[in-house]
Structure 1
Amino acid sequence: MKYSYVGKMPDKIKTYLKEDIYAKENPEYVFSFGGDGTMLKAVEEYLHLADNVIFVGINTGKLGFYTDFVLEEFPELLEKLKTKKYKLNQYNMLCYKINGKEKIKGYALNDLVVISPIKTINIDVYLNKEYFETFRGTGLILSTPSGSTAYNKGLNGAVIEPSVLCYQLTEIASINNNAFKTLSSSLILKKETRCLLKGNYEDILIVADGKEIKVDNVLSVEAKLANKKIKLLVKDNHDFLHRVKKSFL
């Protein structure tokens, strides 16, 4: 078995893998030791191998929607990997394109955030090239179903089961009064819908899965749910709604 890992691997785990091959450049499995943030780093690092690699989350933190296993279960988990008797979930990613001084394309597993920490921004929202609304406020977040329990939930966005092929647009501190009106709720969009954000992007941050993307003179941001997926190993009894209940209720 060829493997790699992201995060801090305990010495005890290394003893279980002494007969296996550490293959940082071309692993079959990528172990993530930590929480969901560590898994996002693992996906970013091995995104170019997403079609061929399986991600395995080992939870060493408090909350993890991408980390089904704990350290004590590693021997049993290793046996599943070697016999290939395991359950996989596949999660669609968000694809985006930032148009500015340069054009940057990328993917996000959780979300893409367009935000101004300094002043109010105006963003014209287009859906499938048709004008929808002008948002005024702090920013907007585009999130996948698997990312709906992260930043999006803190903004009162909808929690969506990862098997549903959609994504959502959620407002961050919108301004609503007699002069300015926005939808003031999350907007759930089908997979094929393209979202285009145009605005006065002088002092904004664009953040994909918690990592800032530096682009000068941004003119617009485009996004939609991608065909690209990651494969994540989960427990046989994995249940998203049970995890939501356990985590938040």
Structure 2
Amino acid sequence: MDNRKNLYFHYPKSNQLEKRLTPLFDLAKENGFTILDDYTKANIIASIGGDGSFLQAVRKTGFRQDCLYVGIAQANESGLYCDFNLDNYDEMVHSIMNEELEVRRFPIIKVVINGESKFYCLNEASIRSAIIKTIEINVYIDDKPFETFRGDGLIVATPTGSTGYNKSTHGAVVDPKTPCFQVSELASLNNNRYRTLGSSFILDKERTLKLEVIQDGNDYPIIGLDNEAYSIRNIQDLTITLSEQRIKTVKLKNNSYWDRVKRTFL
């Protein structure tokens, strides 16, 4: 880790948190780290907070491919992306200095809206009705018609995002070493007139998913990209693929993804 000692901390600014972080900053400097104010020059970006803060840190710093992301949770915060805790920051510095870490690479999805605007997501992308009316979406897989969805909306999750919004809709939890993405339904209509698959389905990394919004008055759906909502006028379609890019994070060698899932849910 000697050549990766330029640190940028991403956290909500507050006097109380700044006070808690001062010992961490001092310890980092004592061990040869340089703390920067410009994330574009850092090769380690540390997020302070739970999984939501980690998602924000990755998004606000542009899904950088040339640096490592580190998640540092505070007390009572979820931390599937966070191997470290602010209350034990000295252990984190010790682990980095003694190379007790491994680099893991998390897949992300690319979302293209109306064939123009491009976004990336580490957790999931979702499209939901913004009015009290079902949204109708033509679903295509590799440009071939698959189904017409009617309901509250759809979620498209990465493997790591499978434990979030996707899991709350009874989607599967997916191993992040499996390069794929998952589609889950939100309150679909299934009766003699309307029919959908009625369950989540998983697509291989080579697949292309297209969601075409039927223009029937529900033309301003809510688009969720990770933990941010975007209001984009006149949504016509979303094209979603698994990106070739990966987010690199560090983890303790004895703390696997499934160890974290077990601690969080079981």
Smaller-chain TM-score bracket: over 0.9
Aligned twin of 2:24 = 13
CA distance in 2 between partners of 1:78 and 1:28 (Å): 15
- The answer to whether 1:2 aligns with 2:6 is yes
Deviations 1:138-178 (A, max 9, x none): 00010000000000000000000111111100000101110
Figure out how many residues of one structure are paired with residues of the other and give that number. Answer: 246
Decide which of 129, 140, 147 is 2:154's aligned counterpart. Answer: 140
How far apart are residue 65 of structure 1 and its match? 0.6
Structure 1: runs of 5 or more not aligned: none
CA distance in 2 between partners of 1:81 and 1:218 (Å): 45
> Pairwise mapping of residues 39-50 of structure 1 onto structure 2 (< 5 A)?
39-48=54-63, 50=64
Aligned twin of 1:247 = 264
Q: Counterpart amino acid of 1:16?
A: L
Aligned twin of 1:223 = 240
How far apart are residue 116 of structure 1 and its match? 0.7
How far apart are residue 239 of structure 1 and its match? 1.8
CA distance in 2 between partners of 1:26 and 1:213 (Å): 29
> Pairwise mapping of residues 84-233 of structure 1 onto structure 2 (< 5 A)?
84-99=99-114, 103-118=116-131, 119-199=133-213, 200=215, 201-233=218-250
How far apart are residue 86 of structure 1 and its match? 2.1
Greater mean deviation of Cα atoms: 144-153 or 53-62: 53-62
Greater mean deviation of Cα atoms: 149-158 or 69-78: 69-78
CA distance in 2 between partners of 1:83 and 1:243 (Å): 22
Partner SS state of residue 185, structure 1: coil
Contact kept in structure 1, 2:220 and 2:234, CA below 8 Å: no
CA distance in 2 between partners of 1:146 and 1:126 (Å): 24
CA distance in 2 between partners of 1:86 and 1:47 (Å): 24
Q: Counterpart amino acid of 1:3?
A: L
How far apart are residue 115 of structure 1 and its match? 0.3
How far apart are residue 106 of structure 1 and its match? 1.1
Partner SS state of residue 29, structure 2: coil
CA distance in 1 between partners of 2:113 and 2:135 (Å): 17
CA distance in 2 between partners of 1:154 and 1:174 (Å): 15
Partner SS state of residue 190, structure 2: coil
Structure 2: runs of 5 or more not aligned: 12-16
Greater mean deviation of Cα atoms: 115-124 or 187-196: 115-124
How far apart are residue 83 of structure 1 and its match? 5.3
Contact kept in structure 1, 2:220 and 2:235, CA below 8 Å: no
- The answer to whether 1:71 aligns with 2:86 is yes
How far apart are residue 17 of structure 1 and its match? 2.6
How far apart are residue 40 of structure 1 and its match? 0.3
CA distance in 2 between partners of 1:166 and 1:157 (Å): 14
Q: Percent identity?
A: 34
Q: TM-score, length-normalised on structure 1? A: 0.93
Q: Counterpart amino acid of 2:27?
A: Y
Q: TM-score, length-normalised on structure 2? A: 0.87
Aligned twin of 2:14 = none
Deviations 1:155-206 (A, max 9, x none): 0000001111111000001011100000010011001110000013513101
Change (3 A) 1:236 1:84: closer
